[in-house]
A and B are shown apart, each in its own frame.
Chain A
Amino acid sequence: MLLYAISMLLFGSISPISQDCDNTLSGTVIDLHDSSLLSGALLIVAGTEQAVQTDVDGKFIITGLCDGTYSIQVSHPYCTTQGYTVKVSGNTSKTFRLEHHLEELNEVTIRGKAYQNEAKTIAKTKISTSELEDFSNGSLGDALNSLSGVSSLNTGSTVVKPMVNGLHSSRVVIINNGVRMEDQEWGAEHAPNIDVNSIANLTLIKGAGALQYSGDAIGGIIVADALKVPVKDSLYGKTLMNLASNGRGSSVTSQLTKSFQNGWYATAQGTVKRYGDFETPDYVLSNTGVFERSASLHFGVNRFKYGLEGYYSFFKNEIGILRASHVGGASDQLAAINSDVPSVIEDFTYDIGEPRQDVTHHLARLKMFSRFDGLGKLSLQYDFQRNNRLEYDIRVGDDADKASIDLELDTHTVLLDLDSDLSDKINLKTGLMARYQTNFADPNTGIRRLIPDYDMYNLGAYAVADYDLNENFLLEFGARFDYTYIDAFKFYRTSTWEDRNYDQLYADIVIEETGNQILTNPQLNFYNTSATAGATYSFNDEYKLFFNYSLASRAPNPSELFSEGLHHSASRIEMGDLGFKSEVAHKVAVTLERKNPVFSFSVNPFINSINDFMVIEPTSIEQTIRGNFQVWEYRQTNALLLGFDLDASYALTNNFRLDHQFSFVKGYDQSQNEPLISMPPVNTKNSLAYQNPKINNLRLALQSEFVFRQNEYPDNNFEVYIPETETYEIVDVSTPPGAYHLLNFSSSIDFNITQKSQLTVGFKVTNLLNNSYRNYLNRLRYYADELGRNYLLNLKFNY
């Protein structure tokens, strides 16, 4: 750039000097970002060698110019020097805008995105790139699990669904690079379709306050962002490789970024992950392998005044589901629960058989923004997602290789956002959202649709304002309105239709009756209001207090509305309800945090009161030819969740650090006066880490994780008659497993290969003591233990 400016100076301008040459060029030099006036900027006119400096008001005047074109170099101590071509005709005025504090700006953009932009009165927890790299071989859920207040609802060890303060699925919204993930997130056994390696920053907002994203995040919002690319000429990348003993597999991920001084950039990234059957300390978990492939491409131009961004990601994951978890009716379930080991244990294999999931997710996003003086930053985004979910069951005959579930969910969204600074103290964010979603369930499965065909339309509008009362005090208010319209085609069994009294209630939606099924066309409207109000007070540089109240409303999802039939993977019959209305949550969260190099902590109590909370629970036993099945019906109740999360970190010496985490949550069904199902048990994580920058940044850490037994749970046990023993037996689907303690070890060391490249070698052992345990929040806990000891070697190469 500098070279360019100099060459322009030398050869740039051969202006005619013979004309009328008493014109002036006057004007100001200002900062591109905040339009502040730049004093002391130097302007040099090529050809005439004339040099002037701007005064305290950023003003300059150059005299003795002829009509014609001049090359002018403008420089400032804190700015990138720039060359301009100026056409002078008579007395001319011109404003030069300089990129002020280049490096600092990048910093601000990065931090601004991650911390400042959303929900300023809710304390956020963040996982940085280096922490995320620790989970390179795992899943998004594994990474989130490392935060206090986050647990996960698992199906085996590879389907990991994040749970925030006791809530999950449709109540936790995931924003992947500005796009709300629409990947059939309603299902408890559906993990988010994001490769953890495609994310550079992960931010968790434990509440619904980030209204620019959604108004229905009753549990919380997870914001995943891709790498921010600096505005400078560079080429860099990284490659990570992991080898794991448990599952005998590996993952490889690579990323390459090219950026230019003029703001253009492109990043390409890809991951391949392959594991065979995982193992507990005592046996192989047959059919638990996983094969994941993903790639993403991110490109665009980032200028201060405007920018354009394109993002595309592809994610494909094939996941084996524990063979022994596929059971028939209640008597099979009883046998499985009463047995200490899974009913099927075979030799280790990489093959993934039935039951299995095969999920593909495409996500494409195009975003542009422009800054308008006096208006603010206006952004427009269009995104498209296609989620294809195939679930294969154990089937017989001609259907053996056919999927039992084949759903394709397409979502188009247009977002228009305006971020304006009304004054130095007031920032206002407003926006509009329009979304269209269509679900297609392939009838060729030969199994009745779990989720019916539907079209869904959403319209949303929001406004969030924050006001800096003074240096220490910030207030935030926001409101959002969403309209949802669902137009579905649903086949009901005639017997169910009549049994649930739908023939009386919804006679007008019947289209036709065929055999023992009725085709209906439910058309549903939901009007949801959400709001947030909060304050942040900084006592000094160290202490900060956050207070936030949020009102969130969530329309029922297709599963809650339309479920009707046997859910094979859960071995139960599930029933939705067409009459559901939106659930409405009121959450109050307070956070006190201290940031200090020696002792830091954060305490985060919360209370979440949810009206018309949709919960699924057993109501009866249905006899079928395959045996007895429990019937689980969704119903609406009032729920109350309360608890607190605690984080603390203490530096013992320069090299030793203690970290502590404690999460506590209780959930109650207030109508039935009983605990809510699947609430995370109290858990605590404590670690001691040693780090020495002098010895190649050697890092050693020992972590202890203690999970208490969940003592509060609803009793959903039922009895089943076993002809062989001629007795009635209790099928214990409720009692949680005992407490457990795990020790994990991790270490890493850096080696500088060349000046620009670095190799990090890491070695980890999880479940160091090789404990056998079961996890209350694993849906397969009835059938098998959790994973045994795992040795992991990871190599990271930065270049």
Chain B
Amino acid sequence: MKKIKLFSALVLAGSLFVACSDDDDSTPEIVNEEEIITTVTVTLSPEDDGTDVTLQLQDLDGDGSGEQVYTVSGSLVANMVYDGSIVLLNETESPAEDITEEVEEESDEHQFFYTVESGLDLTTEYANFDGDGNPLGTEFTLTTGEASSGTLTFTLRHEPTKPNDGTLADAGGETDVEAMFSVEIE
């Protein structure tokens, strides 16, 4: 019977499909997250050429369950002006990728915000700007007041409204970095 032949041909074809499909025994390629920021380092250099203070947040496995490590190298000096700079790294790659460069290239789509807890006596000012003259903030100046302590939070927003009134609420956009450090002024 012709029909039976056709049937058996199809069954055979089907089983061949199943049989030869498992031909790749090689293991898949590892994917290292490309855009992830693992390390935020804020360097504060006092204008009197004293010791730099660094604030660092490191989370080497991104959104994995690994711990976040905060390191603050020391306390700030009262009534001092500091030059601040922020470096963002992806340390899952080797050598580590400098994400700050990308942020600075797309300066019109990014902005850092500095949030100072009310008890902490310091002020900040933007030191670098995008092509339209709106703040970018990977560089800034920080001026300390009297001895006090509190938290200092650095927030990087992607695609915020620019210009904005300097508040996160007005800027909107999407948070790329949110790093809150405990700071002491002595």
Q: Do A and B bind each other?
A: yes
**Residues of A with Cβ closer than 8 Å to B?**
306, 326-329, 331-332, 335, 343-344, 366, 368, 370, 378, 380, 382, 394-397, 399, 412, 414, 416, 434, 436, 438, 441, 443, 445-449, 452-453, 455, 457, 489, 491, 493-496, 499, 511-512, 514-517, 519, 521, 565-566, 573, 622-629, 721, 723-724, 726
Evaluate contact between B175 and A332: CB separation under 8 angstroms: yes
Of the candidates A368, A511, A629, the one whose C-beta lies within 8 Å of that of B27 is A511
Contacts of A441 in B (CB 8 A): 28
A-B contact list, 5 entries, CB within 8 Å: A328-B158, A331-B178, A443-B30, A626-B63, A723-B117
Across the interface, name the chain A residue whose C-beta is closest to B40: A625
Asked if residues A395 and B159 are in contact (CB atoms below 8 Å), the reply is no
Contact between B11 and A380, CB atoms less than 8 A apart: yes
Contact of B169 among A344, A452, A724 (CB under 8 A): A724
B contact set with A: CB distance below 8 Å: 3, 6-7, 10-11, 13-15, 17-18, 21-22, 27-35, 37-38, 40, 57, 59-66, 68, 92, 102-103, 105-106, 109, 115, 117-118, 151, 153, 155, 158-159, 167-169, 172-180
Q: Which 4 A-B pairs have the closest CB atoms?
A: A328-B175, A446-B34, A414-B14, A495-B66
Closest beta carbon of chain A to B157's beta carbon, Å: 8
Whether A366 contacts B102 by the Cβ 8 Å rule is: no
Residue of B nearest to A440 (CB): B28
Identify B174's interface contact among A328, A516, A517, A726, CB under 8 A. Answer: A328
Are B174 and A332 in contact, CB atoms less than 8 angstroms apart?
yes
Q: In the complex, are the beta carbons of B172 and A343 less than 8 A apart?
A: yes
Contact check: which of A446, A491, A517, A565 meets B35 at CB < 8 Å? A446
Q: Which residues of A contact B167 (CB under 8 A)?
A: 724
Known: A344-B172, A491-B30. A625 touches B35 (CB 8 A): no
- Give the Cβ gap from A180 to chain B, nearest Cβ, in Å: 15
Beyond A370-B7, A495-B65, A625-B40, 10 additional contacts (C-beta under 8 Å) are A368-B10, A396-B35, A399-B34, A414-B18, A447-B31, A491-B30, A514-B30, A565-B63, A624-B62, A625-B177
B64 partner, pick from A329, A445, A493, beta carbons under 8 A: A493
**A724-B115 contact given A380-B11, A453-B28, A499-B65, CB 8 Å threshold:** yes
Assess the B66–A493 pair: CB atoms within 8 A.
yes
Cα distance A370–B6 in the bound complex, in angstroms:
11
- Residue pair A625, B179 in contact (C-beta under 8 Å): yes
Chain A residues contacting B92 (CB-CB under 8 Å) are 515-516
Q: Quick check: A493 and B10 within 8 Å, CB to CB?
A: no
Given A395-B35, A491-B30: A622 touches B65 (CB 8 Å cut-off): yes
A575 to chain B, nearest CB (A): 9
Given contacts A449-B31, A626-B176, contact A516 B61 (CB under 8 A): yes
Instruction: Provide the residues of chain B in CB contact with A517, threshold 8 Å.
Output: 30, 32
Q: Does the CB pair B33–A436 fall under 8 Å? A: no
Query: Cβ of A327: which chain B residues have Cβ within 8 Å of it?
Result: 174-175
Contacts of A629 in B (CB 8 A): 63
Assess whether B118 is in contact with A495, with CB atoms less than 8 Å apart.
no
- Tell me if B60 and A396 are in contact (CB < 8 A): no
A234 to B145, CA, bound (A): 91
Whether B172 pairs with A370 at a CB distance below 8 angstroms is no
Q: Which of B15, B27, B117 contacts A519 (CB 8 A)?
A: B27
**B115: A residues at CB distance < 8 A:** 723-724
Residues of B within 8 A of A516 (CB): 60-61, 64, 66, 92
Q: Which residues of B contact A726 (CB under 8 A)?
A: 117-118
**Nearest B-chain residue to A412, judged by Cβ:** B17
B60: A residues at CB distance < 8 A: 516
Say yes or no: A328-B18 contact (C-beta < 8 A), given A495-B65, A724-B115: no
